[in-house]
Structure 1
Amino acid sequence: MIWFDKDLLSAPTELSCEATYWYVHDKVIGTAQGRGTTWFVQLDGLQGALRHYRRGGLFGKLIKDSYWFKGWDKSRSYQEFVLLQKLRQANVNVPRPIAARVIKSGLFYKADLLSERIPRAKDLVGILQQGPLSEQVYIAIGQQIAKLHRAQVNHTDLNIHNILLDDDQVAWIIDFDKCYEQSGEDWKQSNLARLKRSFLKEVERFSIHWQSDDWDALIKGYQSANQ
C-alpha cells in the first residue's frame, strides 16, 4: 500500500520508496546514518529524504525492520505521513510528506517514508558546536514548539538533534516516528523538560555553546506564542 502527494512526487509511485530506483537514475545526492540509512534524493524542484523504518534497542537486534500488522492506518509510515500533513495545515514548520509505503507479509509489515529534505538546514547540535545563537533564534524555536503543542501533537523524542535551522535562521522540527496527537496539557511540560535535558546533555558531550539564558529565551518565545 502506498500513499503519496501527486503534486510532489516525480518518480513512479510503486518505486518511489525504493533506494535502488534512485541509485539507478543517479538521483541519490547523499546519505546519513542513524538507526539505519537515510537516502537524500533529488526530485523535481525539491530534495527528498527516504527512510526505512528500523527497530532500536535489544529487540531491534533480533527483528530489525518488521512490525506486527494491525491495519494499514496503524502502520508507522502511514501515521507519520498523516501527522506531517496535519502539522503542515497547522502552519508548523515540518517537512512535507511525499510518499509512504507499507509492505505486508503474513502477520507482519515493513515500512518506508519519503519526506522533504529541508534545504540548507543543520541540526542544533552541529550549529551550536560552532558558536552561540541569538535570543531571537531561541524565541523563534520556542514559537515553533508552541505551534506544535497547539496542534496537540506530542513529539515523543523532542531533542536538539530533531530541531533544524536553515540559512535564514528559520526553525524546523523533524522526525515524527511514533509521535501522536494527545489531548490535555500536562504532557507539554514533559516535552519541554525533555528538550532542556537534551541541551544539557549535549553541553557535556559536544561542548555546545549554550547557557541557561538561552533556555529562558526559548520559553519566552513559547509563552508569547500561546498568549
Structure 2
Amino acid sequence: MKHYQENNTHVWYDESLVTEPIESLFDINYWRSCNAIVGSASGRGTTWFIKLQSTIAALRHYHRGGLFGKIVRDQYLFLSLERTRSYAEFTLLQKLRSAGVNVPRPVAAKVEQTGLLYRADLLSEKISGASDLVDKLQLERLSSDDYQKIGVEVRKMHDVGVNHTDLNIHNILLDSEGKVWIIDFDKCKQQSGNQWKERNLNRLLRSFRKELGKRKIHWSEDDFESLMLGYNQS
C-alpha cells in the first residue's frame, strides 16, 4: 500500500492496480474527460464504474444515512487517519483478501480533512459478471450447493474475525462462474468473541425473509438450512 499526501488530502493505493495520476483518481470530471465511465449504480449516493488501465473499479463517495444524514450529508468527525471510513475499509479488504475471503480488491482510498471534519472516497474492483442475491432470486431458485458456498464464504469471513454489520442479501454476490463474493464493508471491523457471529447470521436470515415479503423471490426457509450446512461444515 502506497501513501500519497497533498496538503490535507491523503490517498492510499495499490500500486499494482493504479497507473493513472493519483491526484485525479477520485475526480469524476477527470474520468468523464477520459470517457472512462462505463456505468453507475444508485444507492445512498451514486457509485460510478470506472475503466482503469488494469481493471474496472467502483468509485464510491461516503454518505451519511438516517436523519442526521439529511443535515450533514458526507462529513465525519476526524479522530485519526486510521479511524477514517475509507482507510478502515481499504485495510479491512486487504486483510480479508490475504485470508482468502472473496471480497473486492481495494484499489485506492481517499481522505480529505477540513479542520475537525473529513470527507472520504473508495475505489474498489468491480466484480465481473456478478449479481446480488436479490436479483438472482427474482429470476430463479438457487441450488443447495450455491447456498452451501454462501455459508462457506460467510464462515471464512467470521474465521478472520470480521463482523459484517450489514450482512444482507444485497451484499452477497454470485458471479457467472458461481463464485460467491461479499461486499460493502463500510463500518465493519475485526472483533473477538462469538455472539456477534450469531447476530450476523440472524441478520442475514431476516434479510431473506424481508425480501420475500417485499417481492417475489425464489426462496424458502429450507434454503437457509443449506446455507448453515455450509457454514457449519467449513
Pick the TM interval, shorter chain.
over 0.9
TM-score relative to the length of structure 2 = 0.95
What displacement does 1:184 show? 0.6
Residue 36 of structure 1 pairs with residue 45 of structure 2 = yes
SS at match of 2:108: strand
TM-score relative to the length of structure 1 = 0.98
1:117 aligned partner: 126
What's the CA shift string for 1:71-110, capped at 9, x where partnerless? 1111000000000000000100000000000000111000
What displacement does 1:19 show? 1.4
Choose the corresponding residue for 1:201, options 207, 210, 213.
210
Residue 73 of structure 1 pairs with residue 100 of structure 2 = no
Large movers: runs of 4+ above 6 Å: none
CA root-mean-square deviation: 0.6
CA contact (8 A) 1:122 1:165 kept: yes
1:101 aligned partner: 110
What's the CA shift string for 1:40-72, capped at 9, x where partnerless? 011123110000000000000000000011011
Q: Which moved more, 1:106-115 or 1:11-20?
A: 11-20
Residue 184 of structure 1 pairs with residue 193 of structure 2 = yes
1:220 aligned partner: 229
Choose the corresponding residue for 2:15, options 3, 6, 11.
6
Find the aligned partners of 1:144 and 1:19 in 2 and give their Cα distance: 33
CA contact (8 A) 2:18 2:54 kept: no
What displacement does 1:23 show? 1.0
Choose the corresponding residue for 2:151, options 135, 142, 145.
142
Identity of aligned residues (%): 53
CA contact (8 A) 1:17 1:99 kept: no
What's the CA shift string for 1:164-203, capped at 9, x where partnerless? 0000010000000000000011110000000000000000
Find the aligned partners of 1:87 and 1:211 in 2 and give their Cα distance: 30
SS at match of 1:100: strand
Provide the aligned length of Structure 1 versus Structure 2: 225
Residue 19 of structure 1 pairs with residue 60 of structure 2 = no
What displacement does 1:15 show? 1.2
SS at match of 1:202: helix
Choose the corresponding residue for 2:170, options 161, 168, 176.
161
2:65 aligned partner: 56
Find the aligned partners of 1:99 and 1:45 in 2 and give their Cα distance: 13
What displacement does 1:10 show? 2.8
The aligned amino acid for 2:137 is L
1:86 aligned partner: 95
The aligned amino acid for 1:115 is S
Find the aligned partners of 2:215 and 2:52 in 1 and give their Cα distance: 34
Gapped runs of 5+ residues in structure 2? 1-9
Find the aligned partners of 2:62 and 2:99 in 1 and give their Cα distance: 26
The aligned amino acid for 2:142 is L
